[in-house]
Structure 1
């Protein structure tokens, strides 16, 4: 009587497919440049706001442009937050849909880990913030500020300090941040919509539906799609729901699977429509939208040392810092550990829990969405302390993560060199072809 084959234990953060590895690498290169531009924009804003010409910076942010129709006579700061960030969330919607429909995360066993980790990284910071700010009048409105992870900033830091870290960690961080942003946009729609105008909201469904029909038919003509996207955004803005929600909905409408009839059937490597749009709009998002928003939002007059000290006597500031620096890693690590505990899974053999700790700390970089939620929660001009907290938290989280991940990067350098030595004639490392014995001479 033959013995039954041993049951293989599930693996957390296992190595993805070679196709996904290449795709994530391309995304990282673009987001790294975007993260550098983001930091540059934020630094310029901070220096300008605290210079003798700080009033000129505030005057620039307050310039109004746009038609009165549909409440579109907005300040430049509002255009950056409501308009440019819609592009950012459109790309986030494309990425999230692609991951769960056509990427490695279409397997629920792979997708469950970053999704649950993201939810843990949302709930624990929010609870920690509410605990610290309890009893402070009006502070509860800022509970969502420390719940988001900034994709561009976090990936830029990871690219600098962790060049040789496993792709599974990079994929995990990217997916975690995208899910984070999706949760953030749901929170914005549900909890930061003060007045709702149903007629424009219902009206937004018309251009959205037409956009969906056209992209499902694989139409790529910008002169058809762009007016519909702008109309959806404008009507969503007029409805009272934050206009960036339109970006996510438009991203979800784009198909991520190739249609053999509509797409180029002769070219197996031709990109699907989602990849086509992502290729076009990710540079615009990472290189323009997010850096300009950072420039328009990060400038805060500190008022010298006394101003900084007074900011850190504000419970809201302490709540944001604690939520991002401590709450994020606690929530993500706890959720991931619970997934391993209840599914009887182990981390991939090439990873260690200290890697997850460093990555979880890196997720404490809030920045873009945290600044946006701060403006929505307390209003432009009343969120100066929030900006100080978000900026300080992001720097602290980046430094703490850098200490751990830099040390781990040295360990993985040797593994990287071994894998590169295993390249065969098709250019694919043999480690990614373990399930194809004919490629390995088996």
Structure 2
């Protein structure tokens, strides 16, 4: 994370989980606010699905979930569940693509040195859960096909947990969790594209590539209007679905094409503007509906006990709870150790472990990968979904306990971050610890004063011209 600017800070010192820059802090706050609301809706949708699927109305739930709709001639006669997983989640991955592009060009990932730590943490946070799953299933004679299920992190669900428990997590920890999730999403996308692509239809794939090229060209030419891009995006999505490549990849590709750097005269880049418009649709509609039609599994005492006795489901639970925490924490510690990055003195390594435990909440993408991995076995698919739900619940509980132990420290840090005694809209901590701040403010004031004097002189000259006799 970016280090705070201090007069005495050595040039070669790198601070991990230090204070964010003020613009980055504001961006993270806005992004996390939307994700938190979406996470709460996701939580409500998941609970509603479980209650519905285990109520006397469970037959109605199954009938709606399996109801097919769509043009069969275009290869899109899909069930409601598939429309949610393949269609609505394309919106979620479109936003993920924009987030990734922004991180690469304007966020934490633009600097290779700063990016090394969250990237290594994310890689270890996916490799260790996969290893845990593999070891459990090799030892128990289970199915190795689900190795990717416990590798994903659900940032919306993780932030919903934070909202529910009311933890005042410092902005640096929240930003680390967000960056970690963005990198995690990237590798999850690669896993889906590489390992869960079926038999390829090269004609449809070629059409999707041509559509993406047209999409890119229109963006470069500065063409505007949703009525141009939305129909084109639907065509690209339909072609990608029929190509055999998972349709959500189309969303990622289009998100990565958007420009995420602001030009002169622009308050926000096109990517940030579109993300601001689409994120509420993703977090408030697409992901909750996916959860509603994917999380509805029948839960019984025997089903719960089977989760901890069958190698496939036990591997998923241990991968999420143990593998994620150990992987993210271990990767972070190793990266900090070998890049000589020092931990923010206001925080401690147990704080990092608590956030690493939150990464074990692998709801949305884990459910999706579970459906893809065991598509031919509906019973096993439901068991894996139950394991994802139970593993995510255990990880959320563990993280909540760990974060509650430090809640007073976090509240004090957040209060310090928010303190603004001069009411100028800029937290005092950014002024007190930056010796160049007042010099920059003086330069800005002088520039504005010069512009004001110049406008006054021009206005005076115009009046003199008007008063002069013809």
- What is the TM-score with the length of structure 1 in the denominator? 0.93
Contact 1:256–1:272 (CA under 8 A) maintained in structure 2: yes
Maintained 8 Å contact 2:167/2:404: no
The 5 Å alignment of 1:115-126 reads 115-126=119-130
The residue aligned with 1:405 is 403
**Which residue number in structure 1 is paired with residue 359 of structure 2?**
363
2:86 aligned with 1:85: no
Deviations 1:164-186 (A, max 9, x none): 22111111111111211111111
Deviation at 1:7, TM superposition (A): 5.3
Superposed CA deviations along residues 171-228 of structure 1, whole A, max 9, x for unmatched, are: 1111111211111111011001121111111110111111112223343300111111
Q: Distance in 1 between matches of 2:318 and 2:257?
A: 37
Deviates more, 1:401-410 or 1:79-88: 401-410
Q: How many residues align?
A: 430
Question: Which structure 2 residues correspond to residues 365-404 of structure 1 after superposition, within 5 A?
Answer: 365-379=361-375, 381-382=378-379, 383-404=381-402
RMSD of aligned residue pairs (Cα, Å): 1.9
Within 5 A, what are the aligned runs for 1:187-206?
A: 187-206=191-210
Partner of 2:54: 50
Deviations 1:297-327 (A, max 9, x none): 000112x312322333211110000000000
How far did 1:423 drift? Answer: 4.5
Asked if the contact 1:89–1:247 (Cα under 8 Å) also holds between the matched residues in 2, the reply is yes
> What is the CA-CA distance between 1:53 and the residue it aligns to?
1.8
State the distance in 2 between where 1:199 and 1:343 align.
Answer: 47
CA contact 1:10–1:345 (8 Å) conserved in 2:
yes
2:18 equivalent to 1:14: yes
Cα distance change of structure 1 residues 31 and 438 upon mapping to structure 2, 3 Å threshold: closer
Q: Does 1:288 align with 2:285?
A: yes
Quick check: 235-244 or 13-22, which moved more?
13-22
One of 269, 272, 293 as aligned partner of 1:275: 272
Which runs of 5 or more structure 1 residues have no equivalent in the other structure?
A: none
Residue number in structure 2 paired with 1:166: 170
The question of whether the paired residues in 2 share the 8 Å contact of 1:236 and 1:246 is answered with yes
Equivalent residue, structure 2, for 1:23: 27
Note if contact 1:165-1:408 (Cα within 8 Å) is conserved in structure 2. Answer: no
**Which residue number in structure 2 is paired with residue 320 of structure 1?**
316
Q: Counterparts of 1:418 and 1:194 in 2: how far apart (Å)?
A: 53
2:40 aligned with 1:40: no
CA contact (8 A) 1:216 1:255 kept: no
Aligned counterparts of 1:110 and 1:430: Cα–Cα separation in 2: 25
1:9-50 CA distances to partner (integer Å, 9 max, x unpaired)?
211122211111111111111111111111111111111111
SS in structure 2 of the partner of residue 134 of structure 1: helix
Displacement after TM superposition at 1:375 (Å): 0.3
Give the distance between the partners of 2:123 and 2:354, measured in 1 at CA. Answer: 18
Distance 1:169-1:438 versus aligned 2 partners, 3 A rule: closer
Q: Distance in 2 between matches of 1:203 and 1:420?
A: 51
Runs of 4+ in structure 1 deviating by more than 4 angstroms, as ranges, are 135-138
SS at match of 2:245: coil
Q: Does 1:140 align with 2:144?
A: yes
Where does residue 298 of structure 2 map in the other structure? Answer: 301
Match of 1:338 in 2: 334
**Whole-angstrom CA distance in 2 between matches of 1:89 and 1:254:** 14
Distance 1:13 1:219 in 2: 40
Separation of aligned partners in 1, 2:217 and 2:142: 44
Query: Could you say if the C-alpha distance between residues 431 and 100 of structure 1 is closer, same or farther in structure 2, counting changes exceeding 3 Å?
Result: farther
Displacement after TM superposition at 1:420 (Å): 3.2
Aligned to 1:310: 306
Matches of 2:122 and 2:162 in 1, distance apart? 18
Q: 1:98 aligns with which of 88, 95, 102?
A: 102
After TM superposition, give the deviation of residue 425 of structure 1 in Å. Answer: 4.6
Report the TM-score, using the length of structure 2 for normalisation: 0.87
Residue 411 of structure 1 and its aligned partner are, at CA, apart by 0.7
Shift of 1:419: 3.7
- For 2:438, the equivalent position in structure 1 comes to 439
Describe the shift of the 1:104–1:189 C-alpha distance in structure 2 as closer, same or farther (beyond 3 A): closer
1:107 is the counterpart of 2:111: yes
Task: Say if 1:220 and 1:159 are closer, same or farther in 2 by CA, change over 3 A.
Answer: farther
Where in structure 2 are there 5+ consecutive unaligned residues? 1-8, 443-470
Q: 1:378 to 1:136 in 2, by over 3 A?
A: farther
SS in 2 for 1:346: strand
